[in-house]
Amino acid sequence: MTKVHNFSAGPCILPQEVLKQASEAVVNFNELDLSLIEISHRSKDFVEVMENARSLVKELLNIPDGYQVVFLQGGASLGFLMAAYNFLSEGETAAYINTGAWAGKAIKEAQRIGNVNVVASSEDKNFNYIPKGFGIPSDAKYLHFTSNNTIFGTQFKKYPISRIPLLCDMSSDIFSKEIEVNKFDLIYAGAQKNMGPAGTTLYIVKESALGKTGNDIPTMLDLRTHIKKDSMFNTPPVFPIFVSMLTLQWLKKNGGVKWIQSINEQKAKTLYDEIDRNPLFEGVTEKEDRSTMNATFVLKDDQQKETFDEMWKAANISGINGHRSVGGYRASMYNALPLESVQALVDVMKELERTKG
């Protein structure tokens, strides 16, 4: 089979060995002569999967005591509302940083519960930078931000230093670099970037921070519900959790988060160096805020677009069309994307310069 260089922004590339293991489990899981997706989620075989997945999260991220890990459904889009329900009461105020589409959706959901103070925003420049130097109100219940912005290609290189609890949507860069979990009261992330297929969402929460809002939280939206039931209050999304477990095993086997962070930085440097060197291209975001996961760039001359598109497609490159909010191109370089794929894209950019520059 011809190698496709998959730069899709999500659902995205997964390790080939993980896909192979997952496909085998769909046919015959644990030599049971039953498919993974038809066995009971209460069975010993799947309970072991859930326990392994949660344990790997704790190990790979060095999660300290006092934190709970749960796998749920609904994506980070539901997480926007769950975060507010579990940490904010009616009449109270939460602080939010607006750095793009997903941060904006989180703000909208929090406004259903309480008041929102947008303490910083990069909307004035179409979200092409990360705000800095803003104040954090001490009377706000928490500060919420999105660590990486897939659409616009920006990323927090340093997390805010805050005296109030930090809540973060890390959907698109969790497990891509080392983090200090103890700085946060809540981290949540959809699986479909660096963990597995769409269908499950990871929550890492400081347990002592829960149960303080006085809210009558709907059962399914109360994180305590799922902690008490070990992520199995209702039937969990067994396949996405299983594939997430396999992906985390792959990450651990190869050297963990520190290992992949080094590779991710190398991939990003390779592409950004070419964007800056090549006179036919330019980056979209401020250089200091460039995302390691999602590189956004444009052609300086749109008349080259047809030729460039033909060239990268001929090179078996997939998924680099930019989001409509930005235009141009977006190369998503999640954990499973190999350096050779980034080099394939760079080679096409160099060839365009050679022939059309």
250 is catalytic: no
Distances from the Cα of 72 to the Cα of 78, 150, 287, angstroms: 10, 22, 35
Active site residue 302: no
The helix/strand/coil state of 45 is helix
Amino acid code (one letter) for 239: F
The question of whether 139 is a catalytic residue gets the answer: no
Which residue of the set 141, 169, 185, 312 is catalytic? 169
CB within 8 Å of 249: residues ≥ 6 apart: 52, 56
Burial class (CB in 10 A: 0-12, 13-18, 19+), 167: buried
The residue from 193, 250, 289, 312 that is catalytic is 193
Q: Is the bond preceding 11 in cis, omega lying within 30 degrees of 0?
A: yes
**DSSP conformation letters of 244-255:** HHHHHHHHHHHT
Rounded Cα distance between 114 and 167, Å, is 16
Q: Which residues are catalytic?
A: 102, 169, 193
